[in-house]
C-alpha cells in the first residue's frame, strides 16, 4: 500500500472517465487518496463508450427494435389495432436525455467522492507527470500535475479499414443519431457489434444487408451458436452475405454504391463498418513516458496492471485484453486495492478471466459462459455435449418461426459444467445466474438435481439428460 506524501500533487491521476477510470478514481478517493481525473470529452464523455455510444444506448435501441415484431406477434394472442409507426426523432431525443442524466450521475459520484475532475486532454510527460490541456470553454490553459501513481483508462475506438470511399463510412459511434433514418443499411462485419446493429436497424424498419468476410458470424463463439444465430438473422429478414468484402464505396444521387470484391454492387443509404476496435492511445505521451505497447498500440501490463513503468498502470479496453465493461470495473478494483488497500474488512481483490459470462443483443439474443465445444475438446479431451433447440412456448401462438438453442459442455472426467451457451429471448438474463453456479464449480449432477421453473425456457438447462452422440447443430 502506498502512503500519501507531499512530494506529489496527487496520489492517483486517472486518464479517462469511462467505466474503469471512474470506478478507480471513486474507490481510491474513498480510501483517502488524493485523486485527479481527466476526461477529454467533457461532461458528455463521462461513462465512456459503454454509457455514451455502447452498451447503454445500444440496449435501449434493441428494446425499441422489438416493438414492431411484438405487435405482429400479439395478433396470435388476440390483440388487434393499427400497426405502430416509429418516431425516430423521439427515440433519439429520449436516448439523449437519458445519457445526459447518466453523465450527470457520474459527475456527482466523482465530485461527491472528493475526486477533482478536469475536462481536457491529458498526456504523459514522464513517469509521474501529466499535462492536461483544458477544454474550450475553460480558461484555455494547461495544467501540469504530478502524481505518485497514474492510471491510463482511455478505452478504445472503432477502426475502419482502408478502401476507396472510406470517408462515406459510419462507425458505431455515429449510429445513434443518424438523420434521416436509413431505409437501406449495409453493415460490414461479423462480430457482436455488427450483428447487434444489424438486428436493431432491421427491427426498426431498415432493409439491412450484412457482409462478413468469414464463413460465419460471431467468430470465437461456439460453432453451434454461430450457425444458429446466422439462420435466425436471416429468418428475421437480414440479407446476410458471408465470405464477402467491400472493395470501394461511391456516393451517388441514388445513395451509396458499394462495390464488393468480385464486382457486384449494393445500393444503400448508409454503411456501418463494424470491423474492429483499437486502443485509444493517440497523443497520450506513452513514448515520452517509456510505456511499452503491443499490437495496435495496446498498453502492455502485468498481472497487477502495471505497465513497463512501475508508477503507470492501465485497465480496460486500452490494454486490449477482454473488452467488456464489467472486466474494466474488476481490473480497476484490483489496482485500487493494491495501491491503497482494500475496503475495511475485505481481502484484496484479484481478477479471474475464466468463466466470464457475456451476451450479444441480437434478435434473438445470445448468452454464453465458459468454453466452446472446440475449446473443451482441445483442453480436456473427453467431454459430453448436451444440446436442445425448440420453439419457445410464446411462439406457439405468436406465429414467429424463432427457435431457441441451449447447449451444455461437461468435462467427462469431473462431471463439471465447463461451457453453457444459449440463443433465445433473454439469454443474457438467464445465463448470468448459471454463471454463478459454474464459478462455484457446479457439475452436471448438480444441474440434474435442480428443479426447473415451469414453464420457462431456462428450465431446459436442468432437464437435459441425454448427450448428443455426434455432429454439429443443423437447421431443422
Active site residues per annotation: 454
Helical pair 325-340 and 19-30, crossing angle rounded to 10 deg = 30
Beta strands in 101-180 (DSSP E): 116-126, 129-134, 142-152, 156-158
Q: Look at strands 142-152 and 312-314 and give their pairing.
A: parallel
Note whether 132 and 215 are within 8 A (CB).
no
- DSSP per residue over 428-441, as a string? HHHHHHHHHHHHTT
Note whether 278 and 299 are within 8 A (CB).
no
Task: Give every strand in the sheet of 246-252, ordered side by side.
Answer: 246-252, 255-260, 265-268
CA distance 306 to 313: 4
DSSP conformational letter for 109: H
Note whether 412 and 385 are within 8 A (CB).
no
Helix or strand (DSSP H, E) at 270: strand 270-273
Residue keyed to cell 468484402: 245
Three-class SS of residue 261? coil
CA atoms within 13 A on the CB side of 109: 20
Tell me which residue of 413, 355, 408, 407 sits closest to 381, measured CA to CA. 413
**Based on C-alpha coordinates, what's the Rg of the chain?**
24
Note whether 311 and 128 are within 8 A (CB).
yes
CA distance 290 to 308: 7
Residue keyed to cell 437480414: 238
Note whether 335 and 151 are within 8 A (CB).
yes
Cα dihedral 24, 29, 32, 33 sign: positive
- The 8 Å CB, 24+ separation contacts for 323-326 are 323/156, 323/277, 324/356, 324/358, 325/19, 325/50, 325/54, 325/55, 326/356
Note whether 112 and 274 are within 8 A (CB).
no
Amino acid at each position: 500500500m502506498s502512503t500519501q506524501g507531499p512530494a506529489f500533487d496527487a496520489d492517483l491521476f486517472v486518464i479517462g472517465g469511462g467505466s474503469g477510470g471512474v470506478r478507480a478514481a471513486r474507490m481510491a478517493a474513498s480510501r483517502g487518496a488524493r485523486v485527479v481525473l481527466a476526461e477529454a470529452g467533457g461532461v458528455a464523455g463521462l461513462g465512456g463508450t459503454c454509457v455514451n455510444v455502447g452498451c447503454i444506448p445500444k440496449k435501449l435501441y434493441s428494446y425499441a427494435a422489438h416493438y414492431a415484431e411484438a405487435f405482429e406477434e400479439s395478433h396470435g394472442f388476440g390483440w388487434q389495432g393499427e400497426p405502430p409507426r416509429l418516431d425516430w426523432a423521439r427515440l433519439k431525443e429520449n436516448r439523449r436525455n437519458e445519457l445526459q442524466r447518466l453523465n450527470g450521475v457520474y459527475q456527482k459520484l466523482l465530485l461527491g467522492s472528493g475526486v477533482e475532475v478536469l475536462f481536457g486532454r491529458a498526456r504523459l510527460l514522464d513517469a509521474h507527470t501529466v499535462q492536461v490541456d483544458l477544454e474550450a470553454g475553460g480558461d484555455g490553459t494547461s495544467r501540469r500535475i504530478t502524481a505518485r501513481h497514474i492510471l491510463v483508462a482511455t478505452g478504445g475506438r472503432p477502426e475502419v479499414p482502408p478502401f476507396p470511399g472510406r470517408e462515406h463510412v459510419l462507425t458505431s459511434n455515429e449510429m445513434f443519431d443518424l438523420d434521416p433514418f436509413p431505409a437501406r443499411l449495409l453493415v460490414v462485419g461479423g462480430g457482436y457489434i455488427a450483428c447487434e446493429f444489424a438486428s436493431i436497424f432491421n427491427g426498426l424498419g431498415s432493409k439491412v444487408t450484412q457482409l462478413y468476410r468469414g464463413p460465419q458470424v460471431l467468430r470465437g463463439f461456439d460453432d453451434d451458436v454461430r450457425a444458429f444465430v446466422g439462420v435466425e438473422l436471416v429468418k428475421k429478414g437480414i440479407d446476410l452475405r458471408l465470405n464477402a468484402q467491400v472493395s470501394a464505396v461511391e456516393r451517388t444521387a441514388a445513395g451509396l454504391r458499394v462495390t464488393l470484391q468480385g464486382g457486384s454492387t449494393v445500393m444503400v443509404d448508409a454503411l456501418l463498418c463494424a470491423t474492429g476496435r483499437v486502443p485509444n492511445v493517440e497523443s497520450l505521451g506513452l513514448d515520452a513516458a517509456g510505456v511499452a505497447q503491443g499490437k495496435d498500440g495496446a498498453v502492455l501490463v502485468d498481472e497487477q496492471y502495471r505497465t513497463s513503468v512501475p508508477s503507470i498502470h492501465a485497465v480496460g479496453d486500452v490494454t486490449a485484453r477482454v473488452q467488456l465493461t464489467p472486466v474494466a470495473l474488476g481490473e480497476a478494483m484490483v489496482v485500487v486495492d493494491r495501491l491503497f488497500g482494500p475496503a475495511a474488512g475485505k481481502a484484496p481483490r484479484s481478477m479471474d478471466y475464466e468463466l466470464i459470462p457475456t451476451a450479444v443483443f441480437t434478435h434473438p439474443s445470445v448468452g454464453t459462459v465458459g468454453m466452446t465445444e472446440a475449446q473443451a475438446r482441445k483442453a480436456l479431451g473427453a467431454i459430453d455435449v448436451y444440446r436442445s433447440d425448440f420453439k419457445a412456448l410464446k411462439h406457439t401462438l405468436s406465429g414467429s418461426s424463432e427457435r431457441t438453442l441451449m447447449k451444455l459442455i461437461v468435462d467427462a472426467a469431473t462431471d463439471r459444467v465447463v461451457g453453457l451457451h444459449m440463443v433465445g429471448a433473454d439469454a443474457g438474463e438467464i445465463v448470468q445466474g448459471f454463471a454463478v453456479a459454474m464459478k462455484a464449480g457446479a457439475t452436471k449432477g448438480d444441474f440434474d438435481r435442480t428443479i426447473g421453473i415451469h414453464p420457462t425456457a431456462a428450465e431446459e438447462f436442468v432437464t437435459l439428460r441425454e448427450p448428443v452422440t455426434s455432429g454439429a447443430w443443423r437447421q431443422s
